[in-house]
Amino acid sequence: MKMIHSLFLINCSGDIFLEKHWKSVVSQSVCDYFFEAQEKAVDVENVPPVISTPHHYLISIYRDKIFFVSVIQTEVPPLFVIEFLHRVADTFQDYFGECSETAIKDNVVIVYELLEEMLDNGFPLATESNILKELIKPPTILRSVVNSITGSSNVGDTLPTGQLSNIPWRRAGVKYTNNEAYFDVIEEIDAIIDKSGSTVFAEIQGVIDSCIKLSGMPDLSLSFMNPRLLDDVSFHPCIRFKRWESERVLSFIPPDGNFRLISYRVSSQNLVAIPVYVKHLISFKENSSSGRFDVTIGPKQNMGKTVEGVVMTVHMPKAVLNMNLTATQGSYTFDPVTKVLTWDVGKITPQKLPNLKGIVNLQSGAPKPEENPSLNIQFKIQQLAISGLKVNRLDMYGEKYKPFKGVKYITKAGKFQVRT
């Protein structure tokens, strides 16, 4: 079970810009198998996550234009590795504000200290950001100035208090002057709409992201108006499962700062409201090297709220040369290399529906494209959880002060696709 032997970070142009070995050194040449697979896959997103080589297995994830490639030597649970790699990327994001090649290179010492702290002999050690931050302080401009003057370091020299308690996610001695607890209920609609406008598949992926800045050891209970909606839920480890089972109340001692409290799925069995509709006509004429394109987006089942931030992206067929379109609202771009059409619509006003219409020019002599492109729609609706989920109340025990509480709802399009 020697989990992760080595880790290579590779950028999109195929340079290995960081390597870390937890046991013996594995030669960089092992990555050749990865490059081979990458070449075969053409598109970076299509590189298979598990690759076997004569002596090793390569398990990789693709995040923020970086491949995290781990080298494995024996039978391991691949999900374990993939989850861990995502956790590493999350930690970089958390520490440096972005998980990019430059950020990693600029902070290479911290990156190393983090990797060393996160994994020991292949066993994950400390992966909670609260604990890591006590062991290794995140870089700030002020601190690096102070450090260089005073010669002090950004490595904590005491054992993190949370590390071994029954609540490893929270550090002790948290103090705030303003005590606040915010919850964002964010729901994403994944849907496939067919040509005729009827829903082939739709479900809601929801999360409650929290930002908790409370002093001491607060014990919170969050209850819902309609908890029955939540029948498929994944919890942050802090939540007491028994309370949820018996009373449908989320009871927990929260980690300090930002974290994801729960994620949930409202399945396709329940009826999912679709807040927009799309009228479309995309056709290519036989032997004329041109086609028509006409798309209108309108609101539907939006519970009286405004649909905003609407963006449509379309991967046009390869034979498309360029597009001559007019948008009644917003602006559009067409990238002739990647063949991606992007239409930034903005807000939908029901009085005047946004429309994009015009001519598609094909390469002369190319056969009429067989496939019609799918339309990918993004949108946002503020102050609405489309599933109808509503927070009832938040209570705090264990501390005397009165916290400021806030709940925000937002609905977004997830993988929302309209077939044409």
Interface with another protein in residues 29-58 (CB under 8 A): 41, 43, 45-46, 48-50, 52, 55, 57
Closest among 251, 250, 206 to 232, alpha carbons compared: 206
Q: Tell me, residue by residue from 57 to 96, as one string, x for binding to another protein by CB under 8 A and - for no binding.
A: x--xxx---------xxxxxxxxx-xxx-x----------
Computed on alpha carbons and rounded to an integer, the radius of gyration of the chain in Å comes to 25
- Residue closer to another protein by CB (options 113, 294) is 113
Task: Output the smallest distance, CB 408 to another protein, in A.
Answer: 21
Size of the site for another protein (CB under 8 A): 94
Q: Which pair of tokens denotes residue 108?
A: 């290479």
Task: Output the smallest distance, CB 28 to another protein, in A.
Answer: 6
Site for another protein in 188-217 (CB under 8 A): 190, 192, 194, 200-201, 203, 205
- Residue closer to another protein by CB (options 162, 354) is 162
Task: Output the smallest distance, CB 38 to another protein, in A.
Answer: 13
Site for another protein in 100-129 (CB under 8 A): 108-109, 112-113, 116, 120-121, 123-124, 127-128
Q: Tell me, residue by residue from 339 to 378, as one string, x for binding to another protein by CB under 8 A and - for no binding.
A: -------------------------------xxx-x-x--
What is the C-alpha separation between 124 and 131, in angstroms, rounded? Answer: 13
Under the binding rule (CB under 8 A), the answer on residue 229 touching another protein is no
Task: Output the smallest distance, CB 54 to another protein, in A.
Answer: 9
- Residue closer to another protein by CB (options 55, 400) is 55
DSSP string, 232-287: SEEE-TTB-HHHHHHH-EEEE-PPSEEEEEEEEEE-TTSPPP--EEEEEEEEE-TT
Question: Which residues 6+ apart lie within 8 Å of 160 measured at CB?
Answer: 126, 130, 131, 134, 135, 171
Q: Tell me, residue by residue from 7 to 26, as one string, x for binding to another protein by CB under 8 A and - for no binding.
A: ---------xxxxxxxxxx-
What is the C-alpha separation between 318 and 384, in angstroms, rounded? Answer: 39
**What SS3 state is found at 86?**
helix
What is the number of other CB atoms lying within 10 angstroms of the CB of residue 100?
16
- Residue closer to another protein by CB (options 80, 176) is 80
What is the C-alpha separation between 2 and 329, in angstroms, rounded? Answer: 57
- Residue closer to another protein by CB (options 234, 283) is 234
Task: Output the smallest distance, CB 135 to another protein, in A.
Answer: 8
Give 287-318 as a 3 state SS string: CCCEEEEEEEEEECCCCCCCCEEEEEEEECCC
CB 30 within 8 A of CB 5: no
Q: Which pair of tokens denotes residue 344?
A: 């930034």
Site for another protein in 273-332 (CB under 8 A): 315, 317-318
